[in-house]
C-alpha cells in the first residue's frame, strides 16, 4: 500500500481524498482506475425477503461502475430448503445490462402453490466472468419465506424520536400480527409521515426484542438514499466485519411504558461495495399509544462562563405528560448499575422522608463544573399518586473550557530552510483496518511531546482531520463525531523498545489502543506487530483487563515523524473474525484520556460541550 496513492476502500468507509502537505516531501497522485464494467452485488441487497400471498417472482439486482455498452454477465444459482436441494425455483442464467444502465435484474421465479408456509428457502447466487469488480461482492445469498399476517389496522398515534435527523414526530401508526406466530407484531408508518417512504418496525412480544428490517427511507444524504435497520441486523446482514455480539439485545421494548428503544443504523450505498453510515451510537425511540407517559428526556445544551470565571454546564430536562414530579441529581463519574441502584434507593428514601427537592415542570439546570470528566444524571419520575417510576440515567463527558489544553506539551518540529516548522507526521490507521477498512488509511497529523516526560507523545485530534473543503472529517467517514472535544491518541515511547498506545478516546463512543507493545525505529517510526493495535471493546469483568479488536494482520508503522515519498507497505487482512485481545490497564501519565463508557438508558446522544 503506497501512501502516495488514493486508496479505493471497499468496506465501511467512504473513499478518502489525499491531504495537502505543508512541504514538498510527499505528493499524492490519483489511484489507477479500472476500465472493466466492474459488476457487483450491492451491499444493501436484502438477505431475507418475505413472499406475499400469490407472489410468483423475486428480483435481485446487480450493479456496475462503468455503464458504457450492453453486456451480459453469467449467473449461477442453487436453491435449498433445510439443507436439501429443491427444484421449485427458476433463476435467470444471465444478468443483462442495457447500454448506459447501471443496474441489471436477476429474476427468481417460482410457483406460489408449491411454497410452504413458514419455510425458509435459501437461494445462493453467483456472478462470473471478467467483468466483475475486485472490490465488490460476487456472491449473494437470499432467504425467501412466506409468513402470512393479519390485515393492517389503525393503532393510534405513536411518538417517534429520530437521532440521525434530529426530529420527534407524533404520527399515525398501523399494526398487524403474524398468523403463524402471535407473539410477532409489526408496526408501519405510512409514506410521507416520518420519511418519504413507509417504515416498518417489528416486535417480538415474548422476548421484547425490536427488529427493524433493512429498508430504504427515501431521505437523502447528499446524492445517496439513506437506508435503515437496527444495529444487530446491520452487523449480521450488512457489515459482516463488525462484531454483532454487543448489539444482539440492544433494541428493546418496555412492556410497562410502551417505549421501544431502537439501536438504529443509518447508512447509504455509495456503489462498488462501499457504504457510509452514522456509527453505532444513535438510539431512536418509539412510544406506542395507550401507555402512561413517564418519559424523561435530558439534553446537554452547552455551557457558559460567568463574569467571575465560574463554568457551568446547561442540562435541559423535558418530562412526560403523566409525570407529576421528578427528582434530579447529578454525580461525578460514569456510574455503573450497582452505584445507580444505590443512588435510586437514596432518592426514594429522601422522597419518603420529604427531604428531596422535587420539580413539577421541565426546566434547564445550570450545573457548576470544576473538572473535565464523566458525569451521571439520575432522574426519578413520580406519578400523581406519589409512586416512583423507573429511573432515567444520562451519562455525559464534560470538558472544561477555561483551561489551556496545550499546557505541558510542545509541538514536534523540524528544521526546514533554517526555520523550525511543525512536523507533518504520517498517521496510518491500523486500529480500524480489517474491521471498517480493508487497509490502513493514511493522512497527516500534528504530534505533541510531553515537556515533563520526553518520549511521551500525543497525536492531536487525528480523527477530526478535515479531508475536503466542505469540512468533512475522518470521523465523519467512520461515523463518529470526533470534532467536538479534545481527543488525543497517546503513545508512550519513553522506552523505545516497549512502545505502548495508551487507551485513548477518539470520540464520545470509541477508543483505540494497543494490546501488545511496539518499537520506535530510527527515532521516527512507531512500529507495531500484527494484531496488536485495535478498537476498545470494554473491560473483562473477571480479570479487569481491557478488551480489544485487533484485526490488522501485518506489522505496521502507525506513526512516522519523517515520511518519505517512496515509503510503502504491503500487507493483508484476516478473512475470519478476529478474537478479542487483552491488555492490562496501564499506569497512564495523564489523568483523563476520556475513555468511553457504556451509557445506561441513554436518553439522547451524549456529546462534549462545545467551546464558547
Q: Given this model, what pLDDT does residue 410 score?
A: 94
Is the pLDDT confidence value at 502 over 60?
Answer: yes
Q: 432 or 571, which is more confident? A: 432
Task: Identify any residues that bridge with 30 across adjacent strands, giving them in sequence order.
Answer: none
Residue where a domain terminates, one of 287, 306, 332: 287
Q: Which residues are CB-contacts of 417 (< 8 A; sequence separation ≥ 6)?
A: none
Q: Is residue 8 part of a domain?
A: no
Overall average pLDDT of the 249-255 stretch: 88
Residue where a domain terminates, one of 120, 146, 172: 146
153-197 pLDDT per residue, tens: 999 999 898 877 777 888 999 999 988 888 999 999 999 899 999
Cell of 201: 418496525
Residue 489's pLDDT band, with cuts at 50, 70 and 90, is very high
CB 133 within 8 A of CB 40: yes
- Say if residue 88 is in the same domain as residue 73: yes
Cell of 167: 426530529
Q: Given this model, what pLDDT does residue 297 score?
A: 82
Choose among 227, 193, 192: nearest CA to 212: 227
Is the pLDDT confidence value at 240 over 70?
Answer: no
Q: Given this model, what pLDDT does residue 333 score?
A: 85
- Say if residue 124 is in the same domain as residue 171: no
For the chain, give the mean pLDDT.
Answer: 80
Overall average pLDDT of the 338-360 stretch: 93
Residue 593's pLDDT band, with cuts at 50, 70 and 90, is low
- Say if residue 168 is in the same domain as residue 247: yes
Q: What percent of the chain has pLDDT over 90?
A: 36
CATH number at residue 43: 2.60.40.2030
SS3 255: coil
SS3 337: helix
- Please state the domain count of the chain: 4
CATH number at residue 383: 2.60.40.10
Q: Is residue 371 part of a domain?
A: yes
- Say if residue 315 is in the same domain as residue 377: yes
Is the pLDDT confidence value at 591 over 70?
Answer: no
Is the pLDDT confidence value at 282 over 80?
Answer: no
Q: For the chain, what is the radius of gyration of the CA atoms?
A: 27
- Say if residue 160 is in the same domain as residue 283: yes
- Say if residue 110 is in the same domain as residue 259: no
* Alpha carbon distance, N-terminus to C-terminus of the chain: 41
Q: Is residue 498 part of a domain?
A: yes
- Say if residue 337 is in the same domain as residue 470: no
Q: Is residue 602 part of a domain?
A: no
Residue 436's pLDDT band, with cuts at 50, 70 and 90, is low
Kindly state the greatest CA–CA separation across the chain.
84
Overall average pLDDT of the 373-396 stretch: 89
Overall average pLDDT of the 394-421 stretch: 87
CB 30 within 8 A of CB 6: yes
Q: Is residue 513 part of a domain?
A: yes
Choose among 602, 595, 612: nearest CA to 299: 602
The answer to which of 270-279, 308-317, 350-359, 447-456 has the lowest mean pLDDT is: 270-279
Q: Is residue 328 part of a domain?
A: yes
Residues 255 and 428: their CA atoms lie apart, in Å, by 47
| HSE-CB for 345 with a 13 A CA cutoff | 6
Is the pLDDT confidence value at 585 over 70?
Answer: no
469-486 pLDDT per residue, tens: 777 777 776 666 665 678
In which domain, by residue range, is 214 found? 153-287
Q: Given this model, what pLDDT does residue 10 score?
A: 26
The most confident of the ranges 17-31, 129-143, 500-514, 583-597 is 129-143
Residue where a domain terminates, one of 287, 319, 353: 287
Q: Is residue 5 part of a domain?
A: no
525-564 pLDDT per residue, tens: 999 999 899 888 777 767 777 788 888 888 999 999 998 7
Q: Given this model, what pLDDT does residue 57 score?
A: 92
Task: Identify any residues that bridge with 274 across adjacent strands, giving them in sequence order.
Answer: 271
Q: Given this model, what pLDDT does residue 597 score?
A: 41
Residue 109's pLDDT band, with cuts at 50, 70 and 90, is very high
- Say if residue 478 is in the same domain as residue 529: yes
SS3 417: coil
Cα 578 to the center of its chain, rounded Å? 19
Q: Given this model, what pLDDT does residue 525 score?
A: 95
- Say if residue 391 is in the same domain as residue 437: no
Residue 30's pLDDT band, with cuts at 50, 70 and 90, is very low
Q: Is residue 110 part of a domain?
A: yes
Is the pLDDT confidence value at 20 over 60?
Answer: no
Q: Phi, psi at residue 437, to the nearest 5°?
A: -120, 160
- Say if residue 428 is in the same domain as residue 574: yes
CB 300 within 8 A of CB 399: no
SS3 339: helix
- Say if residue 277 is in the same domain as residue 172: yes
Overall average pLDDT of the 229-258 stretch: 81
What does each C-alpha distance from 462 to 421, 448, 478 come to in angstroms? 19, 12, 12
Residue 11's pLDDT band, with cuts at 50, 70 and 90, is very low
Residue 580's pLDDT band, with cuts at 50, 70 and 90, is very low
- Say if residue 95 is in the same domain as residue 134: yes
SS3 540: coil
Amino acid at each position: 500500500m503506497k501512501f502516495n496513492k488514493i486508496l479505493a476502500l471497499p468496506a465501511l468507509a467512504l473513499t478518502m481524498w489525499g491531504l495537502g502537505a505543508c512541504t514538498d516531501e510527499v505528493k499524492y497522485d490519483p489511484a489507477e482506475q479500472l476500465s472493466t464494467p466492474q459488476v457487483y452485488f450491492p451491499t444493501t441487497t436484502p438477505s431475507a425477503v418475505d413472499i406475499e400471498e400469490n407472489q410468483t417472482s423475486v428480483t435481485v439486482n446487480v450493479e456496475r461502475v462503468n455503464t458504457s455498452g450492453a453486456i451480459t454477465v453469467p449467473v449461477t444459482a442453487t436453491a435449498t430448503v433445510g439443507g436439501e436441494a429443491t427444484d421449485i425455483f427458476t433463476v435467470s442464467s444471465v444478468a443483462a445490462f442495457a447500454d448506459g444502465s447501471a443496474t441489471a435484474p436477476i429474476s427468481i421465479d417460482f410457483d406460489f402453490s408449491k411454497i410452504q408456509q413458514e419455510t425458509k428457502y435459501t437461494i445462493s447466487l453467483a456472478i462470473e466472468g471478467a467483468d466483475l469488480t475486485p472490490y465488490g461482492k460476487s456472491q449473494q445469498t437470499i432467504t425467501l419465506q412466506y409468513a402470512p399476517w393479519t390485515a393492517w389496522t389503525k393503532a393510534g398515534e405513536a411518538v417517534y424520536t429520530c437521532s440521525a435527523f434530529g426530529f420527534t414526530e407524533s404520527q399515525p401508526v398501523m399494526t398487524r400480527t403474524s398468523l403463524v406466530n402471535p407473539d410477532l407484531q409489526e408496526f408501519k408508518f405510512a409514506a410521507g409521515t416520518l420519511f418519504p417512504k413507509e417504515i416498518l418496525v417489528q416486535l417480538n412480544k415474548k422476548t421484547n426484542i425490536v427488529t427493524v428490517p433493512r429498508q430504504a427511507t427515501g431521505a437523502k444524504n447528499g446524492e445517496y438514499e439513506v437506508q435503515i435497520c437496527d444495529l444487530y441486523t446491520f452487523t449480521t446482514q450488512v457489515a459482516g466485519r463488525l462484531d454483532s455480539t454487543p448489539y444482539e439485545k440492544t433494541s428493546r421494548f418496555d412492556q410497562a411504558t410502551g417505549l421501544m428503544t431502537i439501536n438504529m443504523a443509518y447508512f447509504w450505498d455509495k456503489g462498488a461495495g462501499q457504504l457510509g453510515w452514522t456509527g453505532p451510537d444513535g438510539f431512536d425511540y418509539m412510544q406506542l399509544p395507550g401507555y402512561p407517559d413517564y418519559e424523561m428526556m435530558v439534553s446537554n445544551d452547552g455551557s457558559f462562563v460567568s463574569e467571575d470565571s465560574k463554568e457551568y454546564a446547561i442540562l435541559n430536562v423535558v418530562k412526560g405528560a403523566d409525570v407529576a414530579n421528578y427528582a434530579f441529581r447529578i454525580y461525578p463519574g460514569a456510574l455503573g448499575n450497582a452505584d445507580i441502584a444505590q443512588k435510586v434507593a437514596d432518592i426514594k428514601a429522601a422522597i419518603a422522608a420529604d427531604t428531596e427537592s422535587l420539580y413539577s415542570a421541565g426546566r434547564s439546570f445550570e450545573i457548576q463544573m470544576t473538572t473535565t470528566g464523566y458525569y451521571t444524571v439520575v432522574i426519578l419520575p413520580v406519578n400523581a399518586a406519589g409512586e416512583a417510576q423507573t429511573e432515567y440515567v444520562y451519562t455525559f463527558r464534560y470538558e472544561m473550557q477555561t483551561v489551556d489544553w496545550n499546557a505541558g506539551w510542545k509541538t514536534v518540529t523540524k528544521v526546514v530552510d533554517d526555520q523550525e516548522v511543525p512536523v507533518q507526521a504520517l498517521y496510518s490507521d491500523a486500529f480500524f483496518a480489517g474491521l471498517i477498512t480493508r487497509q490502513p488509511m493514511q493522512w497527516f497529523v500534528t504530534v505533541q511531546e510531553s515537556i515533563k516526560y520526553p518520549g511521551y507523545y500525543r497525536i492531536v485530534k487525528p480523527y477530526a482531520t478535515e479531508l475536503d473543503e466542505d469540512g468533512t472529517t475522518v470521523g465523519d467517514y467512520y461515523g463518529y463525531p470526533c470534532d467536538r472535544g479534545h481527543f488525543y491518541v497517546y503513545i508512550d515511547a519513553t522506552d523505545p523498545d516497549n512502545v505502548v498506545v495508551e487507551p485513548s478516546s477518539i470520540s464520545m463512543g470509541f477508543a483505540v489502543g494497543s494490546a501488545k507493545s511496539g518499537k520506535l525505529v530510527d527515532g521516527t517510526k512507531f512500529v507495531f506487530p500484527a494484531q496488536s493495535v485495535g478498537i476498545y471493546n470494554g473491560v473483562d469483568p473477571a480479570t479487569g483487563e481491557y478488551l480489544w479488536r485487533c484485526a490488522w494482520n501485518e506489522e505496521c508503522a502507525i506513526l512516522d515523524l519523517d515520511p518519505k515519498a517512496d515509503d510503502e507497505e504491503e500487507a493483508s487482512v484476516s478473512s475470519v473474525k478476529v478474537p478479542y485481545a487483552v491488555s492490562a490497564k496501564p499506569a497512564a501519565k495523564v489523568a483523563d484520556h476520556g475513555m468511553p463508557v457504556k451509557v445506561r438508558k441513554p436518553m439522547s446522544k451524549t456529546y462534549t460541550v462545545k467551546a464558547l
